[in-house]
Structure 1
Amino acid sequence: MSNIQNLHHVVRGKVWLPGEADFDTTRLPWNRAVEQPVDAVVEAADAADVADLVRYARANGLTLTTQPNGHGATGRTDGTVLLRTRRLDALDIDAGNRRARIGAGVSSGRLQQAAAAYGLTGLPGSSPVVSVTGVALGGGLSWFGRKHGWVADSVRAFDIVDAEGSRRHITADTEPDLFWALRGGGGDFAVVTALELELHPAPHVYGGRMMWAGAHASAVLSAYQQIVDKAPDELTLWFNLVHFPGADPMVTVDLTHLGPEAEARDLIAELDRLPQPIADTRRVMTVAELGGITGEPTDPSAGLSRAELLTTLDETLLAEPIAPLLSVQVRHLGGAFAQPSDSPHGPLTEPYALYLFGLAQDPAGVLVKQAALAETLPVSGRKPFTFLNPAETVADAFTPEVVERLRQIKSQVDPGQLFRSNFPV
């Protein structure tokens, strides 16, 4: 019996091998545009199962790639065993201390639902179905990042299985180098089975989306810039150009405000002076409802993305139609993002993040359009790690000094290269 075939006897969770029923679907990542070849798929039953698998892999020369579901998949998985951690789904809220212990399989939407009951919030992004752990390992850009920084900045501890198969609880005090690397440097150093996250007060939240015909894009962008130029850290706005195939172009503004409705409406008054929108979903909401603002798909799909960080924003963005792209999104950063951060990324001094997304039906056209648009805009030359695409590497997100430090930590904690993340250091 080969090392791979013996996996059925190593773990209590599920194992799929090539040729077995459902293997070809189980190995697929969330982004169906990414081809993900693997030698086997293991869905661990719990953290003890993960430790058993790691010890077996170490003894038998196997390489592990860890994913809850594969939102950040890059296809760099050839010759690996794919470890699924979605069954590690324990979630415990300590409201008095504003802490949550979150299993590696817990989604952002589930954390938000639990935290909302206490008037608290995690740091959710646009999608409710991504895993909190996966987001934190990539740094994490949140609706509330202008107030509270990177998602990773709120991590207080990790539960891991190291390259020797030992289960450990690590903090900034116990293992500062590894803790630093995991807070935004990716999953190349250990299997994270759970993390402890600081929660934040959210007694009042106002948010939603306003949508106009694309003909109003210039006026909407002007209003957007007026608002963000004076926005407090509690207010976040995202500007979007949207063009669905077969439909007319549209422009939207998505927003959240950590505060009362009246305060929010005063801050965004310029939006109400614009032409009548096609749709307006702004309202008082709970933090459990934030995942519905942008209407992102909650089922796997195929897409091609590219991200940049912008030093300024002007109407150059509107010079040409965005087709064949589906959307062009500008996220206002600043606030706590620009403050010191003991993480691989450090502070985000660029005021905007740009996210370009297209469907996979015309990959060549989408990639050409993304590159052409990026070339016309004032990009800083680095990208958020959490937004890297399969063609990019850690060098696109981090300084050479940070990459070298990450590599040194990797060589110390995983000298045998047992773990291979989506973006190996």
Structure 2
Amino acid sequence: MNGVNTLRSVVRGRVLLPNDSDFDAARRPWNLAVQQPVVAVVEAADADDVAALVRHARAAGLSVAVQPNGHGATGRTEGTILLRTGRLDTLRIDPARRRAHVGAGVPSGRVQAATAPHGLTGLPGSSPIVSVTGVALGGGLSWFGRAHGWVADSVTAFDIVDTEGQQRHVTAETDGELFWALRGGGGDFAIVTALELALHPAPRLYGGRILWKADRAPEVMEAYRQITATAPDELTVWLDLLHFPGADPMVAVDATYLGDESEARDLLSPLHRLAQPLSDTTRTMPVSELGTITAEPTNPGPGLSRAELLTELDDVAVKALLADPIAPLLSVQLRHLGGAFTRPSDTPHGPLTEPYALYMFGIPSDPATAKAVAARQHGLAEALPVSGRKPLTFLNPSESVADAFAPGTVARLRHLKNHHDPHNTIRSNFPVHG
């Protein structure tokens, strides 16, 4: 393939081809259970490099798949050049305007570290190492989404390379349709090299994890339902059923509150009235330390996930969740939504009206275990009041945009894809054409 063999003359960043010793490591996604076939890997030096690569790929009839580090990889990369954007790492904070200019390779934790001294915050999720751009392109569920909506709702501009290899600044005023699609419709329409993000006040933050033995799960669940029934938008509470290898089953509640400790402890008092927990890390903390709450892995590994949105958390749902051990799953997480998620949103997802998100995770260590994990996830989903819709960033490799968006939205996204990229030069993790 001449277009591949001449890549080193096109870009200044590192190029890895199948015969190079580092090729397999460079193309490896975060989820090691996903196979990622590509014809080359390019680690772009900057936005000019991205533009040059796109022009070259288009002329050669090739496609470019974009990933900072592959957290959302699905393996739909056959025949593509894999573009790594980790070196696009510019980060500028404007505290007076409450804006952040965030390069495509900047992880959430770095934004939080830069905003914390100013009493500001971005909209971080549970992991500090996931790129802000990747999350925003998928809509994005944040710790502070109940107060401020989708991560994408706070994006005010994109710097992109379009499918002709031209660099552009896209806003609601300059290209309203493309701006709409990029705010949660995925990365199928252009390559984002940076974005501008509205920041939010966070002068005080209280948060942490409280952990109990699994036999306390019914009491914890009842307290969780009581808290979430009246929670203000500033309070976010997640419940986790956990069963790690070599450990006894446990139940945890993770919480953040944008406010004073005394207010937070009052809101969480149903939990504090329960039996002595195994541990309690709740405290006043800087927004830069949000990643410590769930302490998610910082190294790649295999995983099999499934997410659902619940229409309610009634007695029937609680019984289904607690009736049996979660094994072979490692975790079953309930995220309280509501608040600002339910308000008007000019994004492909639109308002998120379901009150809870469910995320189930297991490790497919061998074919038999993988089958058992999938069966347990399927059984739980079948027993719960699910809406059939799920956030784009929570989709697994077997799913598609049709699982995230309404049919009319999918049709609109496909029309935009045909208009902006008729040659399919850019291929996202979840292509809008399936």
**Distance in 1 between residues matched to 2:292 and 2:108, nearest whole Å:** 12
In the TM superposition, residue 19 of structure 1 has moved relative to its aligned partner by 1.2
**Equivalences for residues 15-54 of structure 1 within 5 A:** 15-54=15-54
1:117 deviates by 1.2
Three-state SS of the structure 1 residue aligned to 2:2 is coil
Q: Distance in 2 between matches of 1:110 and 1:33?
A: 27
CA distance in 1, matches of 2:122, 2:364: 32
| 1:124 shift after superposition | 0.3
1:346-391 deviation digits (Å, cap 9, x = unpaired): 0010000000000121211110110011100000111111100000
Q: Which amino acid aligns with 2:335?
A: R
Aligned counterpart, 1:329: 333
Alignment of 1:237-316 (within 5 A): 237-313=237-313, 314=315, 315-316=318-319
**What whole-Å deviation, never above 9, does each CA across 1:77-104 have from its counterpart, x for those lacking one?**
0100000000000000000000000000
Q: Distance in 1 between matches of 2:2 and 2:431?
A: 27
- Partner in structure 2 of residue 402 of structure 1: 409
Q: Deviations for 1:204-223, whole angstroms, at most 9, x for unmatched residues?
A: 00000000000000000000
**Partner in structure 2 of residue 340 of structure 1:** 344
Instruction: Provide the C-alpha distance between the structure 1 equivalents of 2:382 and 2:248, rounded to a whole number of angstroms.
Output: 25
Q: Would you say 1:371 and 2:378 are equivalent positions?
A: yes
2:212 partner amino acid: W
- Secondary structure at the aligned position of 2:3 is classed as coil
- Is 2:71 the counterpart of 1:103? no
The CA deviation string for residues 285-324 of structure 1, in whole angstroms up to 9 with x for no partner, is 0000001100100111111100000011142211111000
Q: What amino acid is the match of 2:16?
A: W
Say whether residues 1:382 and 2:389 are aligned partners: yes
Once the two structures are superposed, the pairs formed by residues 151-166 of structure 1 within 5 Å of their partners are 151-166=151-166
Matched, 1:230 2:230: yes
CA distance in 2, matches of 1:53, 1:385: 27
Letter in 2 for 1:398: F
Aligned match of 1:82 = 82
Which residue of 2 is the match for residue 140 of structure 1?
140
Instruction: Tell me, in whole angstroms, the C-alpha distance in 1 between the residues paired with 2:417 and 2:410.
Output: 10
Q: TM-score scaled by structure 1? A: 0.99
Ranges of 4+ aligned residues in structure 1 off by more than 6 Å: none
**Root-mean-square deviation (Å):** 0.7
Looking at structure 1, the residues matched to 95 and 246 of structure 2 have their Cα atoms a distance apart, in angstroms, of 48
Unpaired runs of 5+ residues, structure 2, are none
Letter in 2 for 1:97: R
Question: Is the partner of 1:159 in helix, strand or coil?
Answer: strand
Residue 72 (structure 1) shift: 0.5
Q: Does 1:59 align with 2:66?
A: no
CA distance in 1, matches of 2:255, 2:59: 51
Aligned partner of 1:350 in structure 2 is: 354
CA distance, structure 2, for counterparts of residue 64 and residue 341 of structure 1:
30
**Aligned counterparts of 1:250 and 1:286: Cα–Cα separation in 2:** 27
Using the alignment, how far apart are the partners of 1:24 and 1:247 within structure 2? 33
Question: 1:115 Cα shift?
Answer: 0.5
Report the AA paired with residue 272 of structure 1: H
CA distance in 2 between counterparts of 1:117 and 1:31 reads 33
- Residues in 1 aligned to 2:83 and 2:57: alpha-carbon distance in whole angstroms: 11
Give percent identity, aligned residues only: 68
Equivalent residue letter for 2:358: L
The match for 1:421 among 422, 425, 428 is: 428
Aligned residues: 425
* 1:183 maps onto 2:183 in alignment: yes
Equivalence for 1:174 = 174
In 1: Cα distance, 2:48 partner to 2:273 partner = 58
Quick one: which amino acid aligns to residue 411 of structure 1? N
1:88-137 Cα offsets, whole Å, 9 max, x none, are 00000000000000000000000000010111000000000000000000
Take 2:158 and 2:76, find their aligned partners in 1: how far apart are those partners? Answer: 25
SS in 2 for 1:117: helix
1:131 and 1:346 map into 2 onto residues whose CA distance is 22
SS of equivalent to 2:125? coil
3-state SS of the aligned residue for 2:38? coil
- Which is worse superposed, 333-342 or 243-252? 243-252
- Provide the secondary structure at the position in 2 that maps to 1:39: strand
Alpha-carbon offset, residue 246 of structure 1: 2.4
> Bigger shift: 313-322 or 373-382?
313-322
Shift of 1:231: 0.4
Measure the CA separation in 2 of the matches of 1:349 and 1:207: 25
Gaps of at least 5 residues in structure 1 are none
Separation in structure 2 between the aligned mates of residue 230 and residue 56 of structure 1, nearest angstrom: 55
Q: Secondary structure at the match of 1:330?
A: strand
* Structure 2 counterpart SS, 1:348: coil
